[in-house]
Chains A and B, each alone.
Chain A
């Protein structure tokens, strides 16, 4: 009884400065590393200044979001998700095509990439479905999360944005697994994936765009494809490798600066960092990312209710998937798909989404159990 009273008091008296400090500090360290690297990659002109503005805007959004009452969010989460889907569909009507894919909505001077926001919206909606799931997922219960994720998945796949589509799927899978899946269901699912992979693989392959095929081929054998798409990977590996243990130093990277990849300050920012900071820097940076996710999960563990818990885990999963896939692809561990490195890649939509997610984590922290 006394414990319940204390809990209530704690929630009611949530102070503005009641922040998850380790999480916030890690985030700011990564942000700083990102800005310094971007400065080096672009020579400190337009993109750097814009990124700076995005960062400050993002921080402001983060603090605003941290004041949210997730109980209220839970009530409206389906509308939020519906809004995100509408934006995703709108891309096809008024979208801008870059690099063979339609991902942007022009909004005055800025371009909005709705697929970034869709990830957060999915977490908010999916969390509610999981809350209402009684007991472990049986096979027949899976239709609910499947129906939820399907429209977003299909819309991003059609853009085509393979990376984001896969992340949406992996994100839902992770959350469903955390909720709990019966053993028999798990085995059936694995078998199903295997069959779909064998049968559906060739089908999917024939429907991939040219640049996607080249990227996958390049992943399988970068040396053979070095003349073509493979040089992205090879050149990225060269940049990373040539940094050796201590790195070449700030502004000293010869591979990374401006010239070597089409997306040098977006998707391949990690290569620039690794070239200039060496293995030591990579250890520190990956450590920071690890702790970012780790601290987000710590907040989840303190969550007051299941909905908050799922939201925090969802955000942590988004972060983890992004940095693992992005770093993996720059090093040649994964095929090149357009997945940004959170807080470091150039681009407003990705940054804002990252900060909004952080805001949700902080909101969970603010109303935690004592």
Chain B
């Protein structure tokens, strides 16, 4: 290693001093050029910078469209012209001119515009939206007399449009302008439209797309002169829903003038065929920015038009819940189909009498008749034998008491009581009398229409543990991604028990004494179950409903499925304050099934 200790290293080091001189020379050359650019030619470049600059503008990605299962459009984009201002161009001279002309010609409130400009946190060169969707007249004005509006620009952009108005509004949801909060992340840009509810919110990531940009040469006033380069936005993916547009139309027509909900599902796979909630709203109202007073009406109305009753409305299940209790009784071996209880119109228990809806009583009833004629006393007996926690176990297996996991936001889970729940939440023990209320679907029990539809579906599809969903597939250009549910699981129910229940439910509709006869359709075997959800506490006397004021009247339930042998549709109907399910809700279910199966048959 002679080099390390000798003169070699010293020589090397001395040679490295040349590097310093070369470096100094290079830096001086750079400085000379900088001197030339900044000092000698500084004024020229300053002028040039004033007159010409390049601005990069975000180009919004077209939002993905939403179609029904057959490809009929439910949410699309319409061309529209939006009016922007770039605050950086508003000097002392331009600002008052612009503000005045905005209020004079476009009717924009001066203070609101000022507030918008003051609140802007994205820097002076980020365009702020002044007015969406200019009319032809306004467009002509701002284009022709652009000197009246310094620092502004018009951009052609897509605008969300729901061609069917309020149709399926709750399911589709709506879009609204991005909030200050959301802008704090880098995901959004001022003026972006963001899904606020329904499918628009649930699949925001899919629908959103990726913005592009354009680099424009602009003059000193921000007017665009030439497009220099650009990167195209990537449009959002299109979504196909499981929804059937025609069936949805039928559902909404049926609910017209009523408060209530209809949900229809394919019990074989959980695809939602229709989901209607009434009263509704027109999502197009939100696109332009909804006026505060209209928003107040919508959000504070006692009829809750913004609420999707199918997944957010909570009601006692009423007699529909007897399906759960019957299944629990059969599975647990507590009752055989032929076992009979005597119904004398009431069931004395704990010092009071729990009444059957039929004052005179049903006499001796077996399980089938108890379901067909909805005998309460039978289920008091059975419920008492089962106990609350066994009933809870079966209700939970069928999907009650918890969110169904449907791909929609803000779903409610409802309440399926059990003894430990009561201990934990109310701090009290469970009283056996409360089991009797639960056995006929009243008391603490709270379900959504979707949950009842799911419960029915899981019973009539042979015990398959399906999950409801509204997404059919996502389409990105040529590429398609279909809904991928989890592996199909089967609930541990005995086949003959399920077959027995299906037969009994068919009896509800077809038997002469069935409570659901109003749902009969000639030529189609329909099964179903009525229900009445109490609004106020259980009545001791036998007052007729018609004498009560409407908002005290009970809610009417009807769940139905068809055809019985191999069900292709399961419907849950709820009519708020509709009285008895058999008379008010059953005909709606009938119409739904008729519309769906007849159409299916004629289309093949």
Binding site for B on A (CB under 8 A): 43, 45-46, 131, 174, 178-180, 231, 235, 237-245, 254-255, 257-262, 274, 278-279, 282-283, 286-287, 289-290, 293-294, 297, 300-301, 303, 305-306, 309, 313, 316-317, 320, 324, 327-328, 331-333
| Across-interface contacts of B43 in A (CB, < 8 A) | 244
Say yes or no: is B304 at the interface (Cβ < 8 Å to chain A): no
**Are A241 and B125 in contact, with the CB atoms below 8 A?**
no
- Picked from B12, B29, B34, the residue with its CB within 8 Å of the CB of A274 is B34
| Across-interface contacts of B16 in A (CB, < 8 A) | 178, 297, 300-301, 309, 313
| Across-interface contacts of A331 in B (CB, < 8 A) | 30, 33-34, 37
**Are A324 and B30 in contact, with the CB atoms below 8 A?**
yes
**Are A327 and B30 in contact, with the CB atoms below 8 A?**
yes
**Are A286 and B13 in contact, with the CB atoms below 8 A?**
no
Chain B nearest CB: distance from A236 CB in Å? 10
**Are B3 and A306 in contact, with the CB atoms below 8 A?**
yes
- Picked from B31, B45, B52, the residue with its CB within 8 Å of the CB of A240 is B45
Say yes or no: is B9 at the interface (Cβ < 8 Å to chain A): yes
- For B2, the closest partner residue in chain A by CB is A134
**Are B42 and A242 in contact, with the CB atoms below 8 A?**
yes
**Are A260 and B30 in contact, with the CB atoms below 8 A?**
no
**Are B42 and A244 in contact, with the CB atoms below 8 A?**
yes
Chain B nearest CB: distance from A99 CB in Å? 11
| Across-interface contacts of A282 in B (CB, < 8 A) | 31, 34, 38
Interface residues on B, range: 35 or more
Chain A nearest CB: distance from B4 CB in Å? 5
List 28 A–B pairs whose Cβ atoms lie within 8 Å, in order of A's numbering: A43-B122, A131-B3, A180-B15, A231-B54, A237-B37, A240-B45, A241-B44, A254-B53, A254-B88, A255-B49, A255-B53, A257-B123, A258-B56, A259-B55, A260-B56, A262-B229, A274-B38, A279-B35, A279-B39, A279-B42, A282-B34, A290-B27, A297-B19, A303-B9, A306-B3, A306-B4, A306-B9, A309-B9
Chain B 17-41 interface 0/1 with A at a Cβ cutoff of 8 Å (1 = within): 1011001101101110111011101
Within 8 A of A (CB), among B479-505: none
| Across-interface contacts of B229 in A (CB, < 8 A) | 262
Known: A254-B88, A306-B3, A309-B16. 19 other contacts (CB 8 A): A131-B3, A174-B19, A231-B54, A240-B45, A241-B37, A241-B45, A241-B48, A242-B49, A258-B56, A259-B54, A259-B56, A274-B38, A279-B39, A282-B31, A283-B31, A286-B30, A286-B31, A305-B9, A309-B12
Chain B nearest CB: distance from A255 CB in Å? 5
In the bound assembly, the distance between CA atoms of A127 and B174 in angstroms comes to: 65
| Across-interface contacts of B38 in A (CB, < 8 A) | 240-241, 243-245, 274, 278-279, 282
**Are A245 and B42 in contact, with the CB atoms below 8 A?**
yes
| Across-interface contacts of A45 in B (CB, < 8 A) | 186
Chain B nearest CB: distance from A237 CB in Å? 6
In the bound assembly, the distance between CA atoms of A200 and B17 in angstroms comes to: 34
**Are A43 and B123 in contact, with the CB atoms below 8 A?**
yes
| Across-interface contacts of A178 in B (CB, < 8 A) | 12, 15-16, 19
| Across-interface contacts of B48 in A (CB, < 8 A) | 238, 241-242
- For A332, the closest partner residue in chain B by CB is B33
**Are A290 and B45 in contact, with the CB atoms below 8 A?**
no
**Are B20 and A297 in contact, with the CB atoms below 8 A?**
yes
Say yes or no: is B215 at the interface (Cβ < 8 Å to chain A): yes
- For A241, the closest partner residue in chain B by CB is B45
In the bound assembly, the distance between CA atoms of A240 and B38 in angstroms comes to: 7
Main SS of chain B's interface residues? Answer: helix
| Across-interface contacts of B41 in A (CB, < 8 A) | 241
**Are A259 and B125 in contact, with the CB atoms below 8 A?**
yes
**Are A316 and B19 in contact, with the CB atoms below 8 A?**
yes
In the bound assembly, the distance between CA atoms of A327 and B122 in angstroms comes to: 29
**Are A333 and B30 in contact, with the CB atoms below 8 A?**
yes
- For A174, the closest partner residue in chain B by CB is B19
Say yes or no: is B46 at the interface (Cβ < 8 Å to chain A): yes
- For B29, the closest partner residue in chain A by CB is A333
Binding site for A on B (CB under 8 A): 1, 3-4, 8-9, 12-13, 15-17, 19-20, 23-24, 26-27, 29-31, 33-35, 37-39, 41-46, 48-49, 52-56, 88, 122-123, 125, 186, 215, 228-229
In the bound assembly, the distance between CA atoms of A305 and B46 in angstroms comes to: 52
Chain A nearest CB: distance from B486 CB in Å? 28
**Are A260 and B54 in contact, with the CB atoms below 8 A?**
yes
- For B24, the closest partner residue in chain A by CB is A290
| Across-interface contacts of B125 in A (CB, < 8 A) | 257-259
| Across-interface contacts of B33 in A (CB, < 8 A) | 328, 331-333
In the bound assembly, the distance between CA atoms of A254 and B52 in angstroms comes to: 11
| Across-interface contacts of A255 in B (CB, < 8 A) | 49, 53-54
- Picked from A237, A254, A262, A328, the residue with its CB within 8 Å of the CB of B45 is A237
The 7 closest A-B pairs by CB, nearest first: A241-B45, A242-B49, A244-B42, A259-B56, A279-B38, A241-B37, A242-B46
| Known A245-B42, A331-B33: A293·B49 in contact at CB below 8 Å | no
| Known A43-B123, A237-B45: A245·B3 in contact at CB below 8 Å | no
**Are B19 and A240 in contact, with the CB atoms below 8 A?**
no
In the bound assembly, the distance between CA atoms of A240 and B31 in angstroms comes to: 12
| Across-interface contacts of B45 in A (CB, < 8 A) | 237-238, 240-242
Chain A nearest CB: distance from B603 CB in Å? 47
| Across-interface contacts of B88 in A (CB, < 8 A) | 254
**Are A238 and B49 in contact, with the CB atoms below 8 A?**
yes
Chain A nearest CB: distance from B192 CB in Å? 16
- For B34, the closest partner residue in chain A by CB is A282
| Known A241-B44, A245-B42: A293·B23 in contact at CB below 8 Å | yes
| Known A300-B16, A331-B37: A241·B46 in contact at CB below 8 Å | yes
In the bound assembly, the distance between CA atoms of A287 and B54 in angstroms comes to: 30
Chain B nearest CB: distance from A41 CB in Å? 11
In the bound assembly, the distance between CA atoms of A294 and B19 in angstroms comes to: 9
In the bound assembly, the distance between CA atoms of A257 and B56 in angstroms comes to: 10
| Across-interface contacts of B53 in A (CB, < 8 A) | 254-255, 259-260
| Across-interface contacts of B1 in A (CB, < 8 A) | 305
- For A321, the closest partner residue in chain B by CB is B26
**Are A286 and B35 in contact, with the CB atoms below 8 A?**
no
**Are A313 and B215 in contact, with the CB atoms below 8 A?**
no
**Are B122 and A309 in contact, with the CB atoms below 8 A?**
no
In the bound assembly, the distance between CA atoms of A311 and B41 in angstroms comes to: 41
- For B14, the closest partner residue in chain A by CB is A301
- For A239, the closest partner residue in chain B by CB is B49
**Are B186 and A46 in contact, with the CB atoms below 8 A?**
yes
| Across-interface contacts of B31 in A (CB, < 8 A) | 282-283, 286
Chain A nearest CB: distance from B325 CB in Å? 53
Chain B nearest CB: distance from A26 CB in Å? 14
Chain B nearest CB: distance from A23 CB in Å? 14
- For A306, the closest partner residue in chain B by CB is B3
Chain A nearest CB: distance from B131 CB in Å? 24
In the bound assembly, the distance between CA atoms of A289 and B9 in angstroms comes to: 27
- For A283, the closest partner residue in chain B by CB is B31
In the bound assembly, the distance between CA atoms of A305 and B56 in angstroms comes to: 53
| Known A240-B34, A242-B45: A320·B8 in contact at CB below 8 Å | no
- For A135, the closest partner residue in chain B by CB is B8
- For A180, the closest partner residue in chain B by CB is B15
- Picked from A254, A300, A324, A332, the residue with its CB within 8 Å of the CB of B13 is A300
| Across-interface contacts of B23 in A (CB, < 8 A) | 290, 293-294, 320
